[in-house]
Structure 1
Amino acid sequence: MSDSSLHAVHDNIHQRQSIGHLIEPSPNAAQLEQAFQAALTAPDHHRLKPTHFIVVQGEQREVFGQLMMDAVRDMGEQEEAQIERVKHHPMRAPLLVLAVTRFQAHPKVPDFEQTLSSGAAIQNFLLSLQAQGFSTMWRSGAVVESKLLKRKLGLQEHDLISGIIYVGTAFKAIPPRTEIDTQPYVTYWQAN
């Protein structure tokens, strides 16, 4: 890999950040496919491919907002303002992608490894979209635990909705990230 390519990769990683206000354009089918391909190269013990994606776009976002509203109400939320707010969440971006971890029983691959694999897949997905010029926001919230939501999405109760990823173009320019001082987070171990 050339120095300029390496710099571009690191710059893409260093500048990744969640963007809350997203507008059109959103990725087309080929751009999404490229991001899904990147996602599914994540570390994956025994190649179980526990990560799956559900795409919600166009008018389906309104239908999904209604489903989210029904889900939080089913979970016991009674405050109407909160219920109404959740209904509008899918309209924050032109495209939503739900990342799901479908756990598979395997004697050598515990659930936590499959969860970590999904996290890595999501990060690859975000970085691929960013490299293609798009912005994202990875959210979850209590609604991802909803049994009603899982059932309506065709998921099993033990499946994990690892995140709702909002995708589009940043509404305005975002200041670059400042460099992180890694010293408080890194230790070089030495035996005594």
Structure 2
Amino acid sequence: MTGAFEAAGARRSWSKVTDEAPSHEELARLVSAAGRVADHSSLRPWRLIEIRGDGRTRLGRALNKAEGKRGVSTKPMRAPLLIAVVASYSKKSKVPRWEQEAVASGVAHMLSLLLDEAGWGVFWRTGGATRSKAVAKAHKLGKREELLGWLYVGGKPADRDSGRRKTIDAEDFLSPMP
């Protein structure tokens, strides 16, 4: 791929990935680029938590606790690397909370594009547990932080069709000011 247009046009979610994952160093390089999203007042109202190995088990325990179950959920085991996307809101800023959350979401989306372009399969998982006390505690979230979900990252299976999404008809979503 040679540019953002091609990367965006080729993006898709990979709900099944292999056990391979980018190294911490490769991930850090991509996070550095993803952090360049539009950010009113340059607040950087986000952070990411890298979850690998036993961290996935701890998350699985927190997910089950959030749902009133015992044991460990297998959901975090569906990828070798999970990246928790956290909105870290600044109370002292004139920038509204929704806009700060939009920046954190933008970083997550940009990172997913960069990971995909680097050859990794990515899907973004959310759900009711993202705002639960048990899951917040497992991630050690601060008082002005909220979990927006996790990017699940792994290798793209060679034996699976890429399942490219159909291009949308822009005219269905684009209109002039009334």
TM over 0.5: yes
| Pick aligned residue for 1:11 from 1, 6, 9 | 6
C-alpha change, 1:58 and 1:128, in structure 2 (3 Å) is same
Q: Which has the higher helix share?
A: 1
**Structure 1 segments unaligned to the other structure (5+ residues):** 74-79
Partner of 1:177: 165
Question: Within the alignment, does 1:187 sit opposite 2:175 as a pair?
Answer: yes
Alignment of 1:1-192 (within 5 A): 5=2, 8-73=3-68, 87-171=73-157, 172-189=160-177
How high is the sequence identity, in percent, across the aligned residues? 26
Q: TM-score normalized by structure 1?
A: 0.84
CA distance in 1, matches of 2:138, 2:12: 31
C-alpha change, 1:107 and 1:15, in structure 2 (3 Å) is same
Q: CA RMSD in A?
A: 1.9
In 2, are the aligned partners of 1:24 and 1:168 still within 8 Å (CA)?
Answer: yes
Q: Give the aligned residue type for 1:92.
A: R
CA distance in 1, matches of 2:50, 2:65: 19
**Structure 2 segments unaligned to the other structure (5+ residues):** none
C-alpha change, 1:118 and 1:159, in structure 2 (3 Å) is same
SS of residue matched to 2:155 = strand
Alignment size in residue pairs: 176
CA distance in 2, matches of 1:106, 1:45: 13
CA distance in 1, matches of 2:79, 2:166: 26
In 2, are the aligned partners of 1:97 and 1:164 still within 8 Å (CA)?
Answer: yes
Q: TM-score normalized by structure 2?
A: 0.90
C-alpha change, 1:157 and 1:143, in structure 2 (3 Å) is farther
- Computing the radius of gyration from Cα coordinates, the structure with the larger value is 1
Q: CA deviation at 1:47?
A: 1.1
